[in-house]
Amino acid sequence: MVVADSVMLAAEPESEAEPESRTGRTRRLSPHIGVVPTASMVTGAALATVWFWVPLVILIVGISAIPSGIGFVLAAVVFTYLMRGVDRVERVRSEAVFGLAIPVPPRRLSHYTGIQGWLHQLWLDISSSRFWKGCAHHYLRMIYDMAATGLAFLLTAIAVLGPAAAIAVDGSAAAAGLKFLPPPLAWLLAVIALAAAVAVLVFAPALDVRIDRWLLSPSSTAVLQHQVNALADARQGAVSSAQTERHRIERDLHDSVQPRLVSLAMTIGLAQTKLDTDLPAARNLIDEAHNDAKQALAELRNVVRGIAPTILSDRGLDAALSSVVQRAETSGVPTTLDLYLPRRLPDEVEAVAYFVVAEALTNVAKHAHANQAVVTVRLDETAGQLHVSVFDDGRGGAAYPVDGIDNPDATGLRGLEERVRAAGGTFAVSSPATGPTIVTAVVPCAS
């Protein structure tokens, strides 16, 4: 059935698939009546006679291999990936054959990476109602298609063999004493059986449509639970982001600005004691204090820049990113900016994009030893998403966490992930040991 569904993807004529609101023409046929739905059902039923047993055998082998452990895991992995692929094919088939745009149920994704993330995602998939509804849909459709096609085949066989048997028996009835339907009645029943077979083939796909809508559509409970989980995740990301930002500010003030101000106060105090006794020394101390004050201001600007850059609110994301790229180039890393922003975005979205680029380029300058970097920021107005990507050709090793274990040197990246999560977006880092490193973020934004 899976193979048959994929074969029928492009076969539906536009006159039967396009509604009036999209083509300007009145639809003459119901979407479940036509050659394509019938051919899909018949071909699927034929292939299902073999395919029906394949997932079942894998599932049974997996259950029987529970004591061995490894065999159970392998069977579970094969069965899970097989049925996930079947679910995708079924949705494509439903869209191609019946023109149904059934929304995809939400899928919970693991926040872990590496082998731990893979195992966790496997468990999330196999324990979800979406997975088992897809399995139930696939088998219910196979059973129904085989039953409907088998009934049509039986009726067709009766229509073909009935009259032939009646004629044969009628010719030898006197010699052998056989009795059967009279040929006229056999012909009448053959016509009825053939008409019934055609009716089954034409109208049976109507129930296929109902099965698709029933089991492929997400339930309201699942959608609501997904929204609740997304809001909880965004809230946790906002809390973590605020804590990370507070710790960063405390650390920067304690490690840079505070010692500088303490030194400034001590220098000014020494200068005061020298004013009456050693004026040249007092002047030198005042010059030193002046330099300390300028350095403290510069360090304070760096701290404030991590909170709310003025250029971002005044001139927008394009000007702010241009400034970040210029600073990266002065640090010795040639950087290219590819920007597509046809309009201003919400303040939160612009701030997230700015911090992703700024932190990523800071890491490039400090750790990557890269020859070049490329910043790509593009607004997808159709999907309502802002795509941010920072690429460098330097050494890698910036991925986090590794096999579910946090990298203590990747606190900046964790902070970025929390910022993006707080905005309802997704964040990813690809950084093999030999490079290159790609930092990507996708942030939803209001249209």
* Residue 43 pLDDT greater than 60, yes or no: yes
Other Cβ atoms closer than 10 A to 110:
16
Regarding pTM above 0.75, the answer is no
Residue 235: which of 421, 9, 404 has the closest Cα?
421
Residue 175, number of CB atoms within 10 A of its CB? 7
- pLDDT confidence tier of residue 7, bands split at 50, 70 and 90: very low
Q: Does 360 or 313 have the greater pLDDT score?
A: 360
pLDDT in tens, 151-177: 989 988 888 887 877 777 665 554 445
Q: What is the pLDDT of residues 252-295, one digit of tens each?
A: 666 566 666 777 788 888 888 877 788 788 888 888 878 878 77
Among residues 84, 117, 52, 48, the alpha carbon closest in space to that of 428 is found at: 117
Give the tens place of pLDDT for each residue, 233-250: 666 655 665 666 666 666
Q: Is the pLDDT score of 29 beyond 50? A: no
Instruction: Of 166-175, 181-190, 322-331, 371-380, give the range with the top mean pLDDT.
Output: 371-380
Residue of 178 and 4 predicted with greater confidence = 178
Answer yes or no: is pLDDT of 349 > 60.
yes
Q: What's the pLDDT score for residue 10?
A: 34
Residue 388: pLDDT band (50, 70, 90) is very high
